[in-house]
Amino acid sequence: MNRFAFALACAATPVHADDVIDTFIEANLLSAFYHELGHALIDVMDLPVYGQEEDAADTASIMFINAIFEEDSAVVIAYGAATGLLIGAETTGEDIAWSDTHGADLQRFYNLVCLFYGGNTETRAEFAEDMGLPEDRAETCEEEYALAHRSWSPVLESLLSDDGGDSLIFHSETDSFGSDIISTEVTDLNMLIDLPVDVIVAVDTCGEANAFYDPEERVILICSEFEDYLREVSPVDD
């Protein structure tokens, strides 16, 4: 469970424990945001989904992270997001809601690791090894990424705009580290893409540690309780 902290500790620039916690939180908030943005794109662009929409949104998150961030930042986000799923799997144990539309956290963990590794197998082999990706699965990851790229790249490219746009509208009633992270990401993303319709991105209390997309209101909601949960489970030894 401490692979993420270990990875940062071995970085060229040592990372303080408090910074490791914040980086873990940031990685998981960004991963969740881009997952929900995937849902929003499927909705507002009327995209076909062949399979579970949750799986498509997971894939969209990795494709966004891979496309937008510099390699070092993308790797840190992938470490953090994968570790978050691994912690979720360890916390859930055998109490898995098999009827849920989301896949089991451990399955999502391996899918994330494989897809991200497949995006650059030459430079991300250490990531795959650190995350314990089995060799037989690793052999298919480049093909899995290529399929995801063929599916999502035309969508992402269609959103690119030289002038950007203001189609993502940020709203928050909380003043927190997580709110600042999402606000900054929305501002930066608006400089790159323009959606066909406006989508609100909100960080507010909602009674549970989660994130949602509401198609009726066209709102991406990142629950402020999610940050509290991430801070509580952050993989840093005392």
Reported as a single tens digit per residue, the pLDDT across 53-82 is 999 999 999 999 999 999 989 999 999 999
144: in domain: yes
pTM: 0.90
Asked if residue 170 lies in contact with residue 187, where contact means CB atoms within 8 angstroms, the answer is: yes
Q: How confident is the model at residue 97 (pLDDT cuts 50, 70, 90)?
A: low
Listing DSSP states for 76-141 in one string gives HHHHHHHHHHHHHHHHHTT---TTSSSPPHHHHHHHHHHHHHHT-TTT-HHHHHHTT--HHHHTTH
Whether residue 74 lies inside any domain: the answer is yes
- Element of type H or E holding 204: strand 199-204
Across the range 201-216, mean pLDDT stands at: 96
Query: Could you read off the pLDDT of 105-114 as tens digits, one per residue?
Result: 899 999 999 9
Reading the block at residue 71, the tokens are 């390699």
Kindly state whether residue 238 falls inside one of the protein's structural domains. Answer: no
Q: Is residue 159 one of the residues assigned to a domain? A: yes
Which residues are paired to 219 by β-bridges? 200, 214
Q: Is 16 exposed, middle or buried (0-12, 13-18, 19+ CB in 10 A)?
A: exposed
Residue 162 domain-assigned? Answer: yes
As given in the structure block, the two tokens for residue 16 are 């303080």
Average pLDDT over residues 202-211: 95
Share of the chain above pLDDT 90, in %: 75
pLDDT above 60: residue 218: yes
The pLDDT value given to residue 14: 40
Give the structural domain span for 91: 3-233
- 187 domain-assigned: yes
- 93-120: burial string, b at 16+ Cβ within 10 Å, e else: eeeeeeeeeebbbeebbbbbbbbbbbbb
**pLDDT digit string, tens, across residues 181-206:** 999 999 999 999 999 999 999 999 99
Does a structural domain hold residue 210?
Answer: yes
Distance (Å, whole) CA 159 – CA 31: 19
pLDDT at 1: 39
Whether the predicted pLDDT of 93 surpasses 60: no
Task: Count structural domains, the chain.
Answer: 1
Q: Which residues pair with 221 in a beta bridge?
A: 202, 212
The answer on pLDDT for 101 being more than 60 is no
| Residue 79, domain member (yes or no) | yes
| 3-state secondary structure (DSSP) of residue 238 | coil
pLDDT tens-digit profile of 10-37? 444 444 456 888 999 999 999 999 999 9
